[in-house]
A and B are shown apart, each in its own frame.
Chain A
Amino acid sequence: MNVILIFIQKAIAQGISILFGAVGEIITEKSGNLNLGIPGLMYMGGIAGLMGAFLYEKGVENPSPFKGLIISFICAFICAVLGAFLYSVLTVTLRANQNVVGLALTIFGVGFGNFFGGSISKIAGGVGQISVAVTASAYQTKIPLLSKIPIIGQTLFSYGFLTYLGIILAILTTFFLNKTQIGLNLRSVGEDPAAADAAGIDVAKYKYLSTMLGGGIAGLGGLYFVMEYLGGTWTNNGFGDRGWLAIALVIFAVWNSYNAIRGSILFGALYILYLYMEGLSRGSQELFKMLPYVVTIIVLIITSMRNKRESQPPKSLGQAYFREER
């Protein structure tokens, strides 16, 4: 019983950073931008949040957890937004190839994270791991009282606020895309920018804003990983391939962020399943780590076979739009 409880907790803990990434990517892709820089943006969000908290805790005599939280949250979000802004300038204004720019941004973001991770550990004196324990404690604060309820409290209420923020964002995103005028406009930009343009929608503005908002949300996934999951430390390449899982989750959820909530927990569970299987050799561990990707491929096959128009990717995904092109 206890093992199952812990497994569920860990699966959710693994899933949340992926969920942030996926929600950000869904908002981005709905505008027709295939931002493969999301993994990099998550690194950038993570390190920026950590740096903000670190500099704050270092500069103040008695750092307050709440202020540390606010500062690191803003730093993470803004840094990832700036990364996504760079992507938008290159792909929307300069119409560079989206895949190339996205991959470059991921490589840049990972390097950015590792570089500044090294820098702050040097500022800290170069001794072992750096830690922003005060700020991290704010992120790790569980819901009082409710989390004390046996089983239910442990499975549902024993997480920091980012977990709930992620789920709320996922639900809000689906609502926003399907029930509001701006959401409808945004979807049309991703489907057929020429049609959206003819309807009087500012295609470039929508692409910029959704890509930047999506990037910022993905950055929070990195922040979650650094603060709540790792407890306020940094290890180089520690975030691993969770960013790519986020992009796989977008496909798994058929571009619906509401589906992504369940999907993220499933992915989280599959991601750590090998730890709970006894007697696995190293080789078969690697096979187990493949499971989320295998599931994604199966979903791709099923959605392609059903051939339902509504569960296809946005039609203009990956293509730049230029109005006067003949």
Chain B
Amino acid sequence: MVENYAVEVKNVSKRFGKVIANDNVNLKVKKGEILSILGENGSGKTTLMNMLSGIYSPDEGEILINGKKVIIRSPKDAFALKIGMIHQHFKLIDIFTATENIILGRPNNRMLNLAKVKNELQELIKKYGFELDLDKKIYDMSVSEKQTVEIIKVLYRGANILILDEPTAVLTPQETEKLFTILRNMKKAGKSIIIITHKLQEVLDLSDRIAVLRKGKYIGTIKTSEANISYLTEMMVGKKINLDIKRAEVKDSKTRLEVNNLTCINNDGRKVVDNVSFTAKGGEILGIAGISGSGMKELLEAIAGLQKIESGKIKYFDEQGNSKDISQIDISFVPEDRLGMGLVADMGITDNIMLRNYSKGRSIFLDRSSPKKIAKKIVDQLKVVTPGIETPIRRLSGGNIQKILVGREILQNPRVLMVAYPVRGLDINSSYTIYNLLNEQKKKGVIVICVIEDLDVLLALSDRVMVLNNGKITGIEDAKTISKEKIGIMMTKNVEGGSYEYKNKWEKKKELYIS
């Protein structure tokens, strides 16, 4: 008897203009198994999954669900085939509650009847071990809560095949562990799960089999029990690469940057950076850890001069030891929000570089030739995949966009380089390119301050790690001696009632104030 697969993808191809995203890809998923899909940026993982969930339709090839050939024209068709996808960028309506989002688009129901729905949802929550407040609005939720909503949404719609696109990219280690427990529960309930991720260790911990894509081509599928990290990277990249991050010694032992009692208050009147003091040496990488919303973004923005400082001082000391105001120093800042704050999506690489360099031209006309050279340099050195340097960057993949942004900021020869989540959504190869770039800057004596969510990387890369929790520093530790678990505890332990509770308390106060 022929084995019955939940999903079979046969010789599927998909093109976007000139770019071939998927080239003759094959894939099989069994019932009740967890399959990981590995691949670098632009290897076509997300495109492939979007074809299963009806967002894109394939140009060639066929898809079989439970042995039957199907054509998936829209997400509605996908739901009918019991396929549910949890996208990397959550597809949730901000002003709706969890319940409203979950029942969105369900067929054949005239009245909302929320009470009945909530009972059904509570059962589902109990069955798989979720934690969720069904009446909470999405805009009040943490990333992990939003993800829970997405998962419950597809389960409620009766999905038997779940696709998760980089589900752990924005989670803390504790949240990731919780998610994995839930995924294992689902597997036990007979569901097929396809998970896209970059983190090799997670792939090995969680999945039964691993499929690898490289540059849009299908490379092969192996059993997890037969895989190890270096073999997997070789499959992904096509050659062996060195996975160690070399930590250079701190060259300059003098304190260069001094932050004293810095406090910032956001628009809602909440202290987002609370009395923060630290110093940094030249040629040092200072890592910052914290769960999202702990004030990392605001701290970096305050140093870059983008955030209003309520009280406190930021000083920089030059070679002679003279104290200077931070605004006189060349600072490079790679913000978390690449396309919102960092780059203009509708402009090409050259124009985006000119945004930073426009004042360096001497004539009244724009000097396009030197930015063009820089653009070419970035494309060559960082191996940016693009049809051309004038192509609007929104057409590039997230990893390539990030390379352009980091490349541009590093080429400014800054004294202080700040990067927020520089490798978010990047594959191994590009990640290591970025780590090396940061290390090179360190060797030049630049102060590098970075926020990285992967604690393993953060500890390997930085010299010291500073932990922020609810806007406060809960510790500055030597990265060579502190353990990941200790950092995790410092990130999440309660500081004056804990960050989320604190936030909720404040929300209530705000409501009183407004009404």
Annotate A160-186 by CB proximity to B: 1 below 8 A, 0 otherwise: 000000000000000000011110110
Q: Is the CB of A200 within 8 A of B74?
A: yes
Chain B 82-120 interface residues, beta-carbon cutoff 8 Å to A: 85, 87, 90-96, 100, 103-107, 109-112
Cβ contacts under 8 Å, B75 to chain A: 197-200
Q: Is the CB of B56 within 8 A of A181?
A: no
Alpha-carbon distance A197/B395, docked complex (angstroms):
21
Q: Which of A185, A198, A202 contacts B85 (CB 8 A)?
A: A198
Taking the nearest CB of chain A, how far is it from the CB of B131, in angstroms?
23
Chain A 187-246 interface residues, beta-carbon cutoff 8 Å to B: 187-188, 191-192, 194-202
Chain A CB count within 10 A is highest, among B105, B106, B394, for B105
Chain B CB count within 10 A is highest, among A179, A180, A184, A310, for A184
Is B53 positioned at the interface, with any CB of A under 8 Å from its CB? yes
Q: Is the CB of B79 within 8 A of A200?
A: yes
Cβ contacts under 8 Å, A10 to chain B: none
Closest B residue to A201 by beta carbon equals B105
Q: Which range holds the interface residue count of chain A?
A: 20 to 34
Q: Is the CB of A200 within 8 A of B105?
A: yes
Q: Is the CB of B104 within 8 A of A306?
A: no
Alpha-carbon distance A184/B111, docked complex (angstroms):
10
Taking the nearest CB of chain B, how far is it from the CB of A272, in angstroms?
34
Cβ contacts under 8 Å, A195 to chain B: 90-93, 104
Is A309 positioned at the interface, with any CB of B under 8 Å from its CB? yes
Is B55 positioned at the interface, with any CB of A under 8 Å from its CB? yes
Closest B residue to A203 by beta carbon equals B74
Cβ contacts under 8 Å, A202 to chain B: 74, 76
Alpha-carbon distance A306/B268, docked complex (angstroms):
11
Q: Is the CB of A198 within 8 A of B53?
A: yes
Alpha-carbon distance A309/B94, docked complex (angstroms):
9
Closest B residue to A307 by beta carbon equals B267
Is B139 positioned at the interface, with any CB of A under 8 Å from its CB? yes
Is B16 positioned at the interface, with any CB of A under 8 Å from its CB? yes
Q: Is the CB of A326 within 8 A of B395?
A: yes
Is B341 positioned at the interface, with any CB of A under 8 Å from its CB? no
Cβ contacts under 8 Å, B105 to chain A: 185, 188, 196, 199-201
Taking the nearest CB of chain A, how far is it from the CB of B150, in angstroms?
9
Q: Is the CB of B93 within 8 A of A179?
A: no
Q: Is the CB of B55 within 8 A of A184?
A: no
Is A282 positioned at the interface, with any CB of B under 8 Å from its CB? no
Q: Is the CB of B153 within 8 A of A188?
A: no
Is B514 positioned at the interface, with any CB of A under 8 Å from its CB? yes
Taking the nearest CB of chain A, how far is it from the CB of B7, in angstroms?
18
Cβ contacts under 8 Å, A196 to chain B: 93, 104-105
Given A184-B112, A323-B55, A326-B394; A199-B74 close (CB under 8 Å): no
Q: Is the CB of A192 within 8 A of B74?
A: no
Cβ contacts under 8 Å, B139 to chain A: 309
Cβ contacts under 8 Å, B137 to chain A: 309
Cβ contacts under 8 Å, A185 to chain B: 104-105
Q: Is the CB of A198 within 8 A of B91?
A: yes
Taking the nearest CB of chain A, how far is it from the CB of B155, in angstroms?
14
Is A142 positioned at the interface, with any CB of B under 8 Å from its CB? no
Q: Which of B91, B109, B157 contacts A192 (CB 8 A)?
A: B91
Alpha-carbon distance A196/B92, docked complex (angstroms):
8
Q: Which of A180, A191, A306, A312 contacts B93 (CB 8 A)?
A: A191
Q: Which of B109, B153, B394 contacts A199 (CB 8 A)?
A: B153
Q: Is the CB of A184 within 8 A of B100?
A: yes
Cβ contacts under 8 Å, B153 to chain A: 199
Alpha-carbon distance A269/B423, docked complex (angstroms):
60
Alpha-carbon distance A202/B100, docked complex (angstroms):
17
Chain B 34-84 interface residues, beta-carbon cutoff 8 Å to A: 53, 55-56, 74-76, 78-79
Cβ contacts under 8 Å, B96 to chain A: 184, 187-188, 191
Q: Is the CB of B93 within 8 A of A326?
A: no
Alpha-carbon distance A323/B96, docked complex (angstroms):
22
Q: Is the CB of B111 within 8 A of A181?
A: yes
Alpha-carbon distance A202/B79, docked complex (angstroms):
13
Cβ contacts under 8 Å, A315 to chain B: 94
Q: Which of A181, A194, A326 contacts B106 (CB 8 A)?
A: A181
Q: Is the CB of A199 within 8 A of B94?
A: no
Closest B residue to A192 by beta carbon equals B93
Q: Is the CB of A181 within 8 A of B79?
A: no
Annotate B281-324 by CB proximity to A: 1 below 8 A, 0 otherwise: 00000000000000000000000000000000000000000000
Q: Is the CB of B91 within 8 A of A199?
A: yes
Q: Which of A180, A181, A309 contacts B95 (CB 8 A)?
A: A309
Is A278 positioned at the interface, with any CB of B under 8 Å from its CB? no
Alpha-carbon distance A308/B94, docked complex (angstroms):
12
Chain B 366-398 interface residues, beta-carbon cutoff 8 Å to A: 394-395
Closest A residue to B114 by beta carbon equals A179
Chain A 288-326 interface residues, beta-carbon cutoff 8 Å to B: 306, 308-310, 312, 315, 323-324, 326
Alpha-carbon distance A95/B368, docked complex (angstroms):
33
Q: Is the CB of B112 within 8 A of A180?
A: yes
Alpha-carbon distance A236/B224, docked complex (angstroms):
78
Q: Is the CB of A198 within 8 A of B394?
A: no
Q: Which of A179, A194, A198, A309 contacts B111 (CB 8 A)?
A: A179
Taking the nearest CB of chain B, how far is it from the CB of A97, in angstroms?
15
Cβ contacts under 8 Å, A308 to chain B: 514
Alpha-carbon distance A202/B76, docked complex (angstroms):
8
Annotate A7-21 by CB proximity to B: 1 below 8 A, 0 otherwise: 000000000000000
Alpha-carbon distance A120/B76, docked complex (angstroms):
49
Closest A residue to B17 by beta carbon equals A326
Cβ contacts under 8 Å, B106 to chain A: 181
Closest A residue to B89 by beta carbon equals A194
Alpha-carbon distance A79/B112, docked complex (angstroms):
33
5 contacts between A and B (CB under 8 A): A184-B104, A188-B96, A191-B94, A195-B90, A309-B139
User: A187-B93, A326-B16 given. 8 additional CB < 8 A pairs?
Assistant: A179-B112, A180-B110, A180-B111, A192-B93, A195-B93, A197-B91, A200-B76, A309-B137
Chain A residues in contact with chain B, CB under 8 A? 179-182, 184-185, 187-188, 191-192, 194-202, 306, 308-310, 312, 315, 323-324, 326
A-B pairs, 4 with minimum CB distance? A199-B105, A195-B91, A200-B76, A198-B91
